[in-house]
Amino acid sequence: MSAQDRRWTDRGQAIGHAVTWLARWSARLALVAIGFWLLWTLIGRLWVVVMPVLLGLLITTVLWPPARWLRSRGVPAALAATLVVLGGLIVLGGVLALITTSIVSGVPEIADSATRALQQALDWAAGPPLNLGEGQLDQLLQQGIDQLRSSVGSIADSLLTGVGTVTSGIVTGIVALLLAFLFVKDGPRFTPWLRGVIGERAGGHVTVVLDRVWTTLGDFIRTQAIVSLVDAVLIGLGLVVLGVPLAVPLAALTFLGGFVPIVGAFIAGALAVLVALVSNGPTTALIMLVIVVVVQQVEGNVLQPVLQSRSLRLHAAVVLLAVTAGSTLYGIAGAFLAVPVVAAVAVVLRYLSEVADRRSAPQPALADRPDEPDQVPDRGPDAERPRPADGA
């Protein structure tokens, strides 16, 4: 029996080896956790910079295909980026103008419907079983007015906070748009520059990961656009058939809300049901609720799994937790960016798993290897140089 075999015959030594192994891995995991905490803290401190960069990358995934088509036709990079950015702004401006015009034209009708609904509610409260007299209703109304007056200060503070948030969002959007222009114009130069800076070996890994992340982001945007379009068309048709006002802007909001998984679709559907309730009554609202629920169930259980299974490969529970964490930490922007960020992290983890599998795979024996050195198969950028044998 060799010395290596005799070591495991002693129980105390075996336990000591296990404890040493556990201590080493605990220290490594602790260092990794500290590294992630420092990275998370840095992202939080630099969120005003990170947010425009992430939005710029997502915008770039939409603008890059037409820019690439223009560049393949001989259009200079700067001109192609300018054309696609201006085209995107024109399309977005047209959509916003359509939504605004529809809302302005539909507000009077909704206001009249809301007035009638309020009067019907007052008439119902005055009858059985509540039997509230006119004086009691006036007293309740006065209490509401007094409560509103006492809350004027907090309402004003909320309005100022909202104005500041909107201003910050506008600035972030402008910066993201400028970054998207630069990404579209100079994006193809980034990975060659990065490989030259960090070296061919590490650069090969980083280039593969960045290419896969870029593909994942593009798949996410395209998939969400298809899903959101289907939701908007079906819910919009339901609004038109039921005669609910503001069908076009509600359909547009449904399309935009679809880019925030789970949360956005829920909010857009709730708005559609609320407008149907105010303008057309409870029966129409109930029918609209059934339509929204059916459409969202088809989207969540059929359409999204089929379209996203090959691109993101994320479980629905992971998506839900990501959206919840993102919205809790960074609001609406966090909910919007949570899924692509988690998908990108999943791409990195899958690539690390592939590298680990390749490095842990048994190497072929010397007799099985080709005789000529130039016939040795290429094992990728992570392949290690052959080491001399012991004693060589």
How many Cβ atoms from other residues are within 10 Å of residue 343's Cβ? Answer: 22
Q: Is 243 left (phi over 0), alpha (psi -120 to 50) or beta?
A: left
Query: For residues 322 and 338, is the Cβ–Cβ distance under 8 A?
Result: yes
Query: For residues 266 and 304, is the Cβ–Cβ distance under 8 A?
Result: no
Q: Which two tokens stand for residue 7?
A: 């070591």
Which band of pLDDT confidence, cut at 50, 70 and 90, is reported for residue 38? very high
Distance CA 278, CA 269 (A): 14
Rg (CA), the chain: 30
pLDDT one-digit tens code per residue, 286-326: 998 899 888 888 876 677 666 766 667 777 777 778 878 88
Residues recorded for the chain = 392
Of 106 and 179, the structure prediction assigns the larger pLDDT to 179
Please give the model's pTM, rounded to 2 decimal places.
0.66
Q: Which two tokens stand for residue 372?
A: 């000529």
- In the block, residue with structure tokens 């080896």: 17
Element (H, E) at 223: helix 200-242
CB-side exposure of 168: number of CA atoms within 13 Å? 11
Model pLDDT, residue 252: 82
pLDDT one-digit tens code per residue, 236-284: 898 888 888 878 888 888 888 777 666 677 788 888 888 888 777 788 8
Distance CA 335, CA 322 (A): 8
Residue 378 has pLDDT above 50, yes or no: no
How many Cβ atoms from other residues are within 10 Å of residue 247's Cβ? Answer: 21
Mean pLDDT of 84-104: 82
Distance CA 177, CA 60 (A): 9
Single out the residue of 265, 269, 272, 255 nearest to residue 323, CA to CA: 265
Distance CA 293, CA 299 (A): 10
Query: For residues 264 and 339, is the Cβ–Cβ distance under 8 A?
Result: no
Model pLDDT, residue 29: 94
Domain-wise residue ranges, the chain: 52-149+162-186, 199-359
Model pLDDT, residue 83: 92
Q: Residue 270 contacts by C-beta under 8 Å, 6 or more apart in sequence?
A: none
User: Taking all residues of the chain, what is their mean pLDDT, rounded to a whole number?
Assistant: 76
